[in-house]
Amino acid sequence: MRPVIDIRNAHRIFESEAGCAHILHNVSLAVDPGEFVAITGPSGSGKSTLMNILGCLDKPTAGDYYLQGLNVAELDDDELTEVRALSIGFVFQSFNLLPRLSVIENVMLPLAYTNVPRSQREMRAVHALQAVTLPVDHWDHRISELSGGQMQRVAIARALVNDPPIILADEPTGNLDSATGALVMETFHKLQERGKTIVLITHDPGIAAEADRAVTIRDGRIHDGAYIPHAPRTLRSAVDSLPMISASANPPKGVMA
């Protein structure tokens, strides 16, 4: 099976007047269609930079990135935009919903950029909102009238509305309590059951443990050759990461000792 995401020997270097910052080092990662992959790692390890490259918001300085077999390095800005619009759905930690639009208007927004006729937009937004089980009486509400969990479900509905094959979620449960976070994770599992490929960034090993596999990134390098099959490797990656945190710190929540 050809991987839907295939990044090979990627580097990302940021140049500024202050000097060069080498954020990603020789990163390789392949994700199969329908797979649920969690990317974990401490703050500043390069998770978000990797996510931006996977989401075609940024390009690697060196190395290759094939998305659905397409070499992203060869795409111009308009083509990258098209890939983002049709192939990727983004879910952010801080929801990133537009406060002056209603719930349903937020969900319909990506459809305006893919030239979906106005007559079909509402119907598709309704399907997306039903998929995330947001109550109907909330659809016309302003964003400020929703709880954090509801906001994140709206954000997931927005990511789904163009029916992209890949969902990229950056700390989707980071701003939610554990019960609401569990509901959001349940939504992701349902999406996976529907054939979506999900790449999720998280600090939380408990959340990472829910994925098919977890990949740890540290100091811009994929740790342990990128493949960390589920439970035992997650444990090992947690142990490997211990020197990064203070000696007195408790083991991360959700990690089996």
Partner 1 sequence: MSASDLIQEALHSLEANKGRSLLTILGIVIGIASVIAMTSLIGGIQNSLVNSLGLNAARMIQIYSSQELTDSDVQKLQKLVPQIEQIGIVDSAYTEYKTGDKSYTVMAQGVDSNMLDAVGASKLVAGRTYTDVESKAGSRVALISRGGADQLYGNEQDALGKTIKVSNGEVQIVGVIDGGSDSMGSLTLYMPRETIAGLFGDENPSFPSVTALAAEGSDMDELCKTIESKVRAMKGIEEEDEYDSVSATSMKSAIDSLNSFMGAFSLIMGAVASISLLVGGIGIMNMMLTNVTERIREIGIRRALGASRRDITAQFLAESSALCVTGGLLGVLIGYLLAWGLAMFASGSGILGELGASGQITPSFSIATVLLAFAVSVGIGVIFGFYPARRAAKLDPVECLRYQ
Task: Tell me the β-bridge partners of 161.
Answer: none
Among 28-36, 114-122, 135-143, 181-189, which window interacts with partner 1 (CB under 8 A)?
114-122
Per CB under 8 A, does 139 bind partner 1?
no
Task: Tell me the β-bridge partners of 213.
Answer: 37, 229
CB of 43 to partner 1, least distance (A): 14
Instruction: CB nearer to partner 1: give 92 or 139.
Output: 92
Per CB under 8 A, does 180 bind partner 1?
no
Per CB under 8 A, does 76 bind partner 1?
no
Among 53-61, 67-75, 128-136, 221-229, which window interacts with partner 1 (CB under 8 A)?
53-61
Longest dimension (CA), the chain: 59
Per CB under 8 A, does 78 bind partner 1?
yes
Query: Which of 130, 5, 162 minimizes the C-alpha distance to 72?
Result: 5
Provide the 10 A C-beta neighbour count for residue 38.
Answer: 25
Instruction: CB nearer to partner 1: give 81 or 147.
Output: 81
CB of 248 to partner 1, least distance (A): 31
Judged on CB neighbours under 10 Å (0-12, 13-18, 19+), 134 is buried
Please state, in angstroms and rounded to a whole number, the distance separating the CA atoms of residues 138 and 60. 40
Dump the DSSP string for 89-101. Answer: EEE-TT----TTS
Q: Which residue has the tokens 């020789």?
A: 26
Q: Provide CB contacts within 8 A for 233, sequence distance 6+.
A: 213, 214, 224, 227
* The binder of partner 1 chosen from 30, 70, 75, 85 (CB under 8 A): 85
Per CB under 8 A, does 81 bind partner 1?
yes
* The binder of partner 1 chosen from 58, 64, 212, 219 (CB under 8 A): 58
* The binder of partner 1 chosen from 162, 187, 234, 241 (CB under 8 A): 162
* The binder of partner 1 chosen from 16, 118, 246, 248 (CB under 8 A): 118
Per CB under 8 A, does 13 bind partner 1?
no
- Evaluate the CA torsion angle 21, 24, 25, 26 in order and state its sign: negative
* The binder of partner 1 chosen from 32, 64, 82, 240 (CB under 8 A): 82
Evaluate whether 171 touches 201 at the Cβ level (below 8 Å): yes
Please state, in angstroms and rounded to a whole number, the distance separating the CA atoms of residues 39 and 228. 10
Instruction: CB nearer to partner 1: give 80 or 131.
Output: 80
The contact set with partner 1 (CB under 8 A) reads: 52, 55, 57-58, 77-78, 81-82, 84-86, 90, 92, 96, 98, 100-101, 109-110, 112-115, 118, 158, 162
